[in-house]
Amino acid sequence: MSFIPVNEPLLNGNEKKYLCECIDTGWISSEGPFVKEFEQKMSAAAGRKYGVAVSNGTAALEVAAMALGIKEGDEVIMPTFTIISCAMAVTKLGAVPVLVDSDPKTFNMRTEEIEKKITPKTKAILAVHLYGLPAEMDDILQLAEKYKLKVIEDAAEMHGQTYKGKPCGSFGDISTFSFYPNKHVTAGEGGMVVTDSEELAEKCRSLRNLCFRSDVRYVHDEISDNYRFTNLQAAVGLAQLERLDEFVAIKREMGRYYTEQLKDVEGLILPVEKTDYAENIYWVYGVVLGEQIKLTNREMVKLLAEEGIGARTFFWCMHEQPVYQKAGLFQDESYQNAEYLARKGFYIPSGMALRKEQMDIVADKLKKIMKQVRRSDGSI
């Protein structure tokens, strides 16, 4: 029996053709023409004027935070339940992440808890859309307006998603994307910062490339890093982007199919199909174990692996990260819903290349495991 991986990208469009074009023309560096074309098309898809491609989604968050002038002592509000890239973009600059709990159903930041976290040091809100449904952007934008805060939108998992009909990636001062292979558009590795501000875009272009001074090369007034994105990555990204609508449709069908297969399994909480502001695009198909189930997500991932199924646990909360605890951050903080998701949430194979017969196997194995688990818990 062959292993079903947690993710496998679909690369049967123009990827090979565009990559060959890179080789044939000799354009493999970040100066190549696909980079600009990808920036234009991706920013347009997100409803933005400017796009600056960078080496990955983590780099995009770092560049965005630097471009907005986040600095030592500033506070940035964000969900505790997210990937560490979000907190890192802030702590690397000497600023402090201020955390908020999550909604147990949509997995996104509980926006009603933001206001009481705002202090005179608060500089920005980092909105993160998680696992397929957008965060409540209206609430976030209203608070930002009221308190004169910047908004960074992490749309790394949201290619092709909309919030109340407007594209994710179009909200706030600056938005970021990732093109890691498990995202709806991949470039192998890659990221992008998108914005409507020419000034911010110019700043990001400089930050991406060692902050060379525009008048004299090799002279620097500021320090950043090398965050460049190559023409080879852009070739793949561009071919992927051409199929974005199709990819979103594939993911939605995948979500519908899994839900159909799993809806009667006791003790499994399935992803929300839609809210009043968006329809799930299932970045991954995330499942949460019910309170009555004693098993943890780590144990579940192991059981699934033994059955030949690749699965992953959900993110681990920022306030429980050993690295931040050691640094004295987030002492005695606790966020109940987020901690629950981090211990009980996991996702099953949901890559773009997943086939229906593989989904059937995944659903069957998961059902079988759940039955065994409920039996040993004494609930059946």
Residues that bind ligand PLP (CB under 6 A): 56-58, 82-83, 85, 128, 154, 156-157, 178, 180, 191
Nearer to ligand PLP, 111 or 267 (CB): 111
CB of 283 to ligand PLP, least distance (A): 7
Question: For residues 181 and 290, which CB has a smaller minimum distance to ligand PLP in the complex?
Answer: 181
Return d(Cα 87, Cα 83) in angstroms, integer.
8
**In this structure, which long-range contacts are made by residues 205-210, counting pairs with CB atoms below 8 Å and at least 24 apart in sequence?**
205/52, 207/63, 207/66, 207/67, 208/52, 208/54, 208/59, 208/63, 209/30
Shortest approach of ligand PLP to residue 240 CB, angstroms?
14
Contact 70, 63 (CB under 8 A): no
Nearer to ligand PLP, 60 or 363 (CB): 60
- Asked whether 278 and 161 are in contact (CB, 8 A), the reply is yes
Q: Of the two residues 150 and 374, which places its CB atom closer to ligand PLP in the complex? A: 150
For residues 56 and 102, which CB has a smaller minimum distance to ligand PLP in the complex? 56
The distance of closest approach from Cβ of residue 120 to ligand PLP in the complex, given in angstroms and rounded to an integer, is 28
Closest distance of CB 155 from ligand PLP, Å: 8
Q: How far is the CB of 342 from ligand PLP (least distance, A)?
A: 15
Instruction: Supply the DSSP symbol for 195.
Output: E
294 with 377: CB under 8 angstroms? yes
Least distance from ligand PLP to the Cβ atom of residue 367, Å: 28
CB of 378 to ligand PLP, least distance (A): 37
Give dist(CA 129, CA 140) in Å, integer: 12
Residues in CB range of 260: below 8 A, 6 or more apart: none
Least distance (Å) from ligand PLP to the CB of residue 30? 16
Nearest to 106 by CA among 60, 137, 84: 137
Does residue 120 sit in helix, strand or coil? Answer: coil
43 or 58: whose CB is closer to ligand PLP?
58
| Residue 261 phi, psi (nearest 5) | -70, -30
Tokens representing 220? 């620097």
Give the residue with the Cβ less far from ligand PLP, 33 or 188.
Answer: 188
Looking at the chain, list the stretches that DSSP marks H as alpha helix, in order from N- to C-terminal side: 15-25, 33-45, 57-67, 84-91, 137-147, 198-208, 231-241, 244-262, 297-306, 322-326, 336-344, 356-377
Q: What is the DSSP string of 238-258?
A: HHHHTTHHHHHHHHHHHHHHH
Residue number with the shortest CB distance to ligand PLP?
A: 57
Q: In angstroms, what is the minimal distance from the CB of 370 to ligand PLP?
A: 27
Closest to ligand PLP by CB, 83 or 370: 83
Structure tokens belonging to residue 86: 């979000």
